[in-house]
Amino acid sequence: MAIETVNPATGKAIRRYDEMTPDAMRDVIDRAHDAFLDWGRCDFHDRAERVRRAAGILLERKEAFGKLITQEMGKTFASAMAEVDKCALNCNHYAEHAREYLKPRPVPTHLTRSYVTYRPLGVILAIMPWNFPFWQVFRFAAPALMAGNAVVLKHASACTGSALAMEGIFREAGFPEDLFRTLVVSGSAVSSAMEHEKVAGVTLTGSEETGRVVAERAGRLLRKVVLELGGSDPYLILEDQDEESLDRAAEVCVAARMLVSGQVCISAKRLIAVDAVREAFTRKVLEKLGRYRCGDPMKPETGLGPLARQDLRDQVHAQVRSSVARGARLLLGGEPLEGPGFFYPPTLLTEVRKGMPACDEEIFGPVAAVLPARDEADAIRIARDTRFGLGAAVFTRDVERGEWIAAHELDAGICTVNTAVFSDPRLPFGGVKASGHGRECSEEGIREFTNIKTVCVK
């Protein structure tokens, strides 16, 4: 069997890779565990030195890695290079702060000494998606390695070249040869990998459906698991807007929705505008969406690259058609582009309500949906009325009120005021409800795959 990668801008094959046999996969995990036994005893200085080297390699070859990302999943070249930059930033962040994040925490008790320490777990299986081929991996791998773990990566098949390139980065940076390894296998082999007795934990970034399957299997195996799943992020547009602030809100919402052609978990998927400003806001969104042009993602003037696969484009189109059939108004786009590649144009739906895919489901494509709300209270109700809970944003001139809504009224792991939802190595990242559980980034993220061990001395 072989895995074939395809350029989504042309529909043409890039390369074929031979799949590992089940025995080869087990051998990779065994070797990763052997590497962990020594790596877990290294001090933070030695680990940090290698993680910083990895950051340096990323920056030195940013254009080559960016081109690889664009070829395999279709995002614009500028976006791909920005992704590589962010990976380097994440590496340097954990190289600098891991010791502080994991330092022993003394706890006064009746004993001579009591404290909490954070020790590595072992081999962590990472199941990663195609939309951020490098970032999703480095976001997890840098803290996991700095904590003393080994990493075995099952990447999306579409990004096999990226997966092997990252394995090469870690090896060149001086990590033990088997500490970070890629499993070149199909998705059906994930269950076997999880069942390997030396896999201590599993992290998944992916769809809600896949998350449920992995969570069920991990639960049966008693594996520690972190899930970062889908989202249907609400962006609330409150009525206290003037012309300037409303225009700025529309600009942020459109940019957030069109990022990576809408293939982002924390994208602005439900634009909930109160009646007092909804018509004006919709006009501005329509005008700004009209500026985006689909095209060759390697060209600097291109605003939107293709979707990653044809089946994904077909799914987006089916969700749009179903929403329109149930009463949504189509103001822009809504038809796949003819010709080679998997392109879908900027699309705007209005009058979106409960019972439509554009409201109830995650649309992973460049589709903006405007939902009507009577007032602020109604907007908050609509925002909360979803099974997802990854990100949320509030746009208002009353920043204090917006902060209260973000902190107390919205069910999401990341809430912002007057800016798009984003991820940052310094801040915890993750969701609630069907958007998953556990956290990545910051000190919470690095502690997820550690043994939070209590030590007491009398």
Give the residue numbers annotated as catalytic, written as ranges. Answer: 228, 265
Contacts of 75-83 with CB under 8 Å at 24 or more apart are: 75/131, 75/260, 75/261, 75/263, 75/297, 75/305, 76/297, 76/302, 76/303, 76/304, 76/305, 77/297, 77/298, 77/299, 77/300, 78/300, 79/259, 79/260, 79/305, 83/132, 83/133, 83/134, 83/135
Look up residue 40 and give its DSSP letter.
T
CA angle 128, 133, 135 (to 5 degrees): 90
The Cα–Cα gap between 387 and 212 comes to 14
Q: How far, in Å, CA of 295 to CA of 277, rounded? A: 33
Could you tell me where the beta strands, DSSP code E, fall in 185-251? 199-205, 224-228, 234-237
Instruction: Give the Cα separation of 35 and 22 in Å (integer).
Output: 20
Q: In Å, how far from its chain's centre is CA 404?
A: 26
**Cα–Cα distance, 255 to 265 (Å, whole number):** 14
Q: Got the DSSP string for 403-427?
A: HHIIIII--SSEEEESS-----TTS
Task: Report d(CA 113, CA 358) in Å as an integer.
Answer: 56
Amino acid, res. 72: E
Q: Cα(154)–Cα(181) distance, rounded to whole angstroms?
A: 9
In this structure, the number of other CB atoms found within 10 A of the CB of residue 447 comes to: 16
Rounded to whole angstroms, the Cα distance separating 58 from 77 reads 15
**Would you state the torsion angle of the CA atoms of residues 11, 17, 18, 23, taken in this order, to the nearest 10 degrees?**
-120
Q: What angle do CA 375, 411, 137 make, to 5 degrees?
A: 130
Say what angle helices 160-172 and 135-146 make with each other, to 10 degrees.
30
